[in-house]
Amino acid sequence: MADTAAQTLPDNALEALRERTTVVADSGDFETIRAYRPTDATTNPSLVLQAAGDARYRHLVDEALASTPTRGVTRVERLMTLFGRELTGVVSRYVSTEVDARLSFDTDATVRKARALIADYDALGVPADRILIKIASTWAGIRAASVLESEGIACNMTLIFSLAQAQACFEAGVTLISPFVGRITDWYKKAEGVEHYAPTEDPGVLSVQRINAYAKTHGYPTQVMAASFRNRDQILALSGADLMTISPALLEELAGMDASQAPGMSQQTSEIPRVSLDRARFDWAMNADAMATEKLAEGIRKFADDQVALEAQMAG
């Protein structure tokens, strides 16, 4: 029996992580994704912009330029759905595709764009149940996700920096949320003049633990996908979260580590009572959290800038 047990031990920290957490590739590079065998893949304008400049993917750019997208979808968005189509052939479950960040404060426009993206995927032969529509977690975005989920369109709410955002998403019944570990840590490092946090004191890690505990304590079905990691210690400290989206460089580090170095996250219970935030309470909670307000705005601007850069690249 001992020999059998030994044979089933994971070979490295990445394999050990997979036993507790669904691993998602944070990349538009198909070959890298294939190498690390993640279950899901997530894209955004930044990743597609980077991948579109790679000669290996020039055929997708050419296909986007030559094709006629579904009504309501731009050629840049057709490029994103083409990348998504290819990714569905590499991963077994979901591919996330982002709504234009410039629509982050317009509920109706976000709903229309999400429907158009799903229709475009359908035109490319990709069923809706393989796609997560990725939306910035503004109040308008969360309201849009509530509508879309009621129509059977699954959503990945991105740029989560606060418990208030997560609470509103849970109540909206979204499929998945993406709290951004590293960006939270970045903000606190600068604000507090700290060069490095131990995992047990890392503000980004603690934020995800708090959100995860709240979700599990109150029985929400929404999955928590930790994102935006700066180092492997953050990943290892959150092993056991529903999902993690991890860059190729960090996947490689984990694959080179001993399996015993993946301690994981202990089960936690939240003492915070379940709440249903209205717009005023949500806005106040965000206003009271300088980090969340600043990082959400910054993230939206960055995604919008990369969308504009991708449009310029396609036009040129």
CATH code for position 51: 3.20.20.70
What's the number of domains the chain is made of?
Answer: 1
CA dihedral 28, 199, 264, 213 (to 10 degrees): -90
For 13-34, how does the pLDDT look when each residue is reduced to its tens digit (9 = 90+)?
Answer: 998 898 889 988 887 677 777 8
User: What is the set of active-site residues?
Assistant: 134
For residue 3, pLDDT beyond 50: no
For 238-256, how does the pLDDT look when each residue is reduced to its tens digit (9 = 90+)?
Answer: 999 999 999 888 998 998 9
Mean pLDDT for all residues in the chain? 91
Question: What is the pLDDT at residue 2?
Answer: 43
Q: How many CA atoms lie within 13 A of 116 on its CB side?
A: 19
Residue 309 lies in a domain: yes
Question: What is the pLDDT at residue 262?
Answer: 58
Question: What is the pLDDT at residue 178?
Answer: 96
For residue 6, pLDDT beyond 50: no
Which residues constitute the domain of residue 299?
Answer: 11-315
Residue 66 lies in a domain: yes
Residue 4 lies in a domain: no
Question: What is the pLDDT at residue 4?
Answer: 44
Residue 304 lies in a domain: yes
Question: What is the pLDDT at residue 5?
Answer: 44
Question: What is the pLDDT at residue 150?
Answer: 98
Residue 55 lies in a domain: yes
Ranges 35-39, 43-47, 292-296: which has the least confidence: 43-47
Residue 6 lies in a domain: no
Residue 182 lies in a domain: yes
Residue 2 lies in a domain: no
For 51-70, how does the pLDDT look when each residue is reduced to its tens digit (9 = 90+)?
Answer: 777 888 888 888 988 988 89
**Which string of b and e fits 31-40 if b means at least 16 CB within 10 Å?**
ebbeebebeb
Contact 179, 208 (CB under 8 A): yes
